[in-house]
Structure 1
Amino acid sequence: MVASHRSKLLADFAQRGLIQEVSAGLDERLVASPSIAAYIGFDPSADSLHVGHLMGVLALRRLQLHGGRPIALVGGGTGMIGDPSGRSAERNLLDRATLDANRASIGGQLGRLLDFSGASGALLLDNLEWLGDLGMIDFLRDTGKHLTVSYMLAKDSVKSRLEGGLSFTEFSYMLLQSYDFLMLRKLHGVELQMGGSDQWGNITAGSELIRRVDGDGREGAPLAFGLCYPLLLAKSGEKFGKTAEGAVWLTTERTSTFAFRQFFMDQPDEQLEELLHRLTLDSAESISELLADHAKNPGARTGQRRLATAVTTLVHGESEELRARAVAETLFGGPDGRGSDPRALDAAGLATLAAELPTAPLPAGADATLLDLVTAAGFATSKSEARRLVEQGGVSVNGEAAGDPAASATSFARLADGSLLLRKGRRDYRMLRAG
């Protein structure tokens, strides 16, 4: 049962399953005025965000749609230490130059996902701005004294690591993140911090620090609030956004747009509702209608197609999504189950296709035949085997059946980049490319 909230933002979050923990008083604060500045921290330990970050980025986007101001905080300072929350071991620490490069790359990605224009435009900040020159003596005197060791040890993010070993470096992370919240309130009027459920201890520590510093420790109306959304998990129970090859990244330098889109096409039916609500901006009403249509014919994969299209468009843009979709429909078929004509792909689409398929050199001899193409593709080890395969109707070239073993290789029209696309059976593809 979804909890009742009077504010539009929390009602929307609750309907989408985006509230696991929320501070008392936040609903009343948002009813009084939906204009609130909120932030989420992003760790620059890699040069790209991954799919697991999307729920947080879209939480900021939804907040903005409801009249709030989103702030994305890239932890250039805390990234040098590392957050123990949700980790089983201490990670390697990165040098300043690597963190600077990662921060710049992540900032570019956030710039495409959030609206930075206008009076309520998003802000992109780096906590190195106030942590870089922070002296240890001043920090311990002015901040460390407000949170006791027993208070910090009671947090799950710390307790879960004590037996296995937790360095003082990582133990101090909670204080630094709390200090971030305090500084963002002073500099930008931030009242709300959001994050995954493994961040609740750090978030409430920040709220407590603000109460003690700015409220002199007195009870009363909250000065700062927290909201945690559930961690998004795959069907296997692992954190969402991982494949056998590793994380699914938001940059094409690590994960191609095609592979990114296919990751969402491969999601199981039972997770569609959760993923559509949390990772798209589609309305709850349109999602309900879509799922009803999907249930009538699950084989058409209507839900997966919408999920893949919506998320890929958000991250990579409409033109890149259309290109990745065209390649996917060439290989796997469209909504009607039939494959698209590869001759309709432009050079960029064919480059995407070639990156996803095994390739081989196109036979160059003037007397080359279809049998030479089949053996060059690796579909047969001899011309006699290739002949049997062709005569059995098991080969197509550029989407059309090829049944004449003696057909000249030059009789097949080349694709836009001069290549040929061969298929054996239903799904075994090769690209033959001119040298």
Structure 2
Amino acid sequence: MNELLKDLAWRGIIYQQTDEVGILDTLNKESISLYCGVDPTADSMHIGHLLPFLTLRRFQLSGHRPIVLVGGATGLIGDPSGKKEERKLQTLETVQYNVSCLQKQLERIFDFEGSNGAIMVNNYDWAGSMDIVTFLRDFGKHVGINYMLAKDTIATRLDTGISFTEFTYTILQAMDFFHLYENHECRMQIGGSDQWGNITTGLELIRKMQPEGAKAYGLTIPLVTKADGTKFGKTESGAIWLDPEKTSPYEFYQFWINTADADVVKYLKFFTFLPQAEIEELAKAVMDEPHLRKAQKTLAEEMTRMIHGQESLDQAIKISAALFSGDVKNLTAVEIKQGFKDVPSYTATGEEIALVDLLVDAKISPSKRQAREDITNGAVTINGERITDTAYVLTISNRIEEQFTIIRRGKKKYTLIKYS
């Protein structure tokens, strides 16, 4: 068996193949060009987008050429896959901006140099200027209505309604496969399991519009699920974005390090490029030493380094260690903004503030009597330093980079003090 396909199978990444024998035979004989695409529905991808592109990267590491497509044209239409109602159409300016943002994120994953350097494409370049008559005559003529109605993505929308715009989406994506086959010798499309209908429509176009015997293939990847049944990539605060302004590197790191034991080995297989032997060692550690969380730490480090770089990983580890130990005085203001993004905060005024008054005003302690008791009992720290003097007064010297003071009451209750 082909070593790449063997590795993908071991990782559980292969869901469906349009021609298993043909794919194996082709990959054993030659290096190919293949593509994966994403629509710019937002100005950032989230981790739910990662697995198909990381799979495409695995093909590149095995000597094949990846074509990375960001759908400037299809993003103007909207994929009906998985949707119960019509998408709200975005402006051309918004979509073009989103395209540029997603391309920058994808550039972090792929190597664009060398004999099999990745190619970045935007389907607006060939579909955006096409007139309606050309679309209907050259492409619409080759895709039957009954064929399209049989697609799950369309059939599931017939009861709730689907516009002609979204009805034609599968043809637009099929045009991408045809265009890349014709202009870049692209032999395969990979995507999530929800893209099976769009991929096979592309193969139908190639079969009808190319000379007899043209060979092209499709491969889909399983939906990523969590063992407890909740949706992967979602937290209480929302999606885990690749954009550090939407999800900070610290939050990104924390998402992965909090992975359940039941999921962590699967995620190591799916998302990291660690070899099989190392993942099996980590799987053993999950069984034998779950309290050490070696697998989770490795997963968090690998993913944060890949998406945000070593510097951001080091910063995330530093913030995590400071929050765990309570020794926060060496954090920078930037690190505090990341690590204390979701903790309660209070904006104080004045250069000097009595600690007892601040504890009450910031709702850290319910009363001055309780505040004094908390201080006397050693339950209050300022920037990691325990304070036991009930007459203590905070000054500018208690501010980290003149912006923040971190007060902790007890072991876990942090409050971020800001200054107006």
Post-superposition offset of 1:236: 5.1
1:29 aligns with 2:26: yes
Counterpart of 2:292?
A: 300
CA-based RMSD: 2.2
In the alignment, the residues of structure 1 paired with residue 58 and residue 209 of structure 2 have an alpha-carbon distance, to the nearest angstrom, of 30
Equivalence for 1:78: 74
Letter in 2 for 1:128: Y
Aligned position for 2:14:
19
Within the candidate set 321, 330, 334, 1:344 is matched to 330
Aligned length: 418
Report Cα offsets for 1:83-108 as digits up to 9, x if no partner: 11222221111111111111111111
1:215 aligns with 2:201: no
- Does residue 136 of structure 2 align to residue 151 of structure 1? no
CA–CA separation in structure 1 for the residues paired with 2:381 and 2:295? 30
TM-score normalized with structure 1 length: 0.90
> In the alignment, which of 188, 200, 203 is matched to residue 204 of structure 1?
200
Amino acid at match of 1:431: L
Query: Partner amino acid for 2:345?
Result: T
Q: Select between 185-194 and 135-144 the one with higher mean Cα deviation.
A: 135-144
The offset of 1:305, in angstroms, is 1.9
Contact 1:370 1:404 in 2 (8 A): no
Shift of the alpha carbon at 1:354? 4.4
1:47 CA drift (Å)? 0.8
Q: Which residue of 1 aligns with 2:183?
A: 187
Give the Cα–Cα distance (whole angstroms) in 1 for the partners of residues 384 and 286 of structure 2: 28
Give the 3-state SS of the residue equivalent to 1:119 in structure 2: coil
1:92 aligns with 88
| 2:46 counterpart residue number | 50
- Deviations 1:144-191 (Å, cap 9, x if unpaired)? 222222222222222222222122211111111111101001111110
- Candidates 251, 271, 280, aligned match of 1:288: 280
Kept after mapping to 2: 8 A contact 1:192/1:224: yes
Could you list the per-position Cα deviations for residues 98-155 of structure 1 after superposition, in whole angstroms to 9, with x for gaps in the alignment?
A: 1111111111111122212223111111111111122222222222222222222222
User: For residues 79 and 330 of structure 2, what CA distance do their matches in structure 1 show?
Assistant: 48
Distance (whole Å) between structure 1 residues aligned to residue 318 and residue 401 of structure 2: 15
Give the match's secondary structure for 1:378: coil
Contact 2:69 2:123 in 1 (8 A): yes
- The Cα shift of 1:364 comes to 4.2
1:268 maps to 260
Where in structure 1 are there 5+ consecutive unaligned residues? 1-5, 334-338
Instruction: Give the aligned partner of residue 160 of structure 2.
Output: 164
Identify the match of residue 419 of structure 1 among 397, 404, 413: 404
Give the deviation of 1:41 after TM superposition. 1.1
- Which of 363, 368, 382 is the aligned partner of 1:378? 363
**Structure 2 length-normalised TM:** 0.93
The residue that corresponds to 1:112 in the other structure is 108
Structure 2's unaligned 5+ residue stretches are none
CA contact (8 A) 2:351 2:395 kept: no
| Distance in structure 2 (CA, Å) of the matches to 1:431 and 1:192 | 52
Which residue in 2 is equivalent to 1:7? Answer: 2
Quote the Cα distance in structure 2 between the aligned partners of 1:109 and 1:260: 15
Q: What's 2:374 paired with?
A: 389
Using the TM superposition, give the Cα deviation of residue 32 of structure 1 relative to its aligned residue in structure 2, in angstroms.
0.6
For 1:343, the aligned partner's letter is K
Corresponding residue number in structure 2 for 1:257: 249
3-state SS in 2 of match to 1:92: coil
Is the counterpart of residue 312 in structure 1 residue 304 in structure 2?
A: yes
More moved, 166-175 vs 393-402: 393-402
Q: Secondary structure at the match of 1:115?
A: coil
Corresponding residue for residue 325 of structure 1: 317
Q: Separation in 2 of the partners of 1:398 and 1:190?
A: 57
Query: Which deviates further from its counterpart, 282-291 or 223-232?
Result: 282-291
The DSSP-based 3-state class of the residue aligned with 1:255 is coil
Distance 1:20 1:124, change over 3 A: same
Shift of 1:239: 4.3
Q: CA deviation at 1:423?
A: 0.9
Counterparts of 1:289 and 1:377, CA distance in 2: 48
The one of 220, 226, 240 aligned to 1:228: 220
SS at match of 2:242: coil
8 Å Cα contact 1:52-1:239 kept in structure 2: no
8 Å contact kept, 1:261–1:312: yes
Moved more, 340-349 or 406-415: 406-415
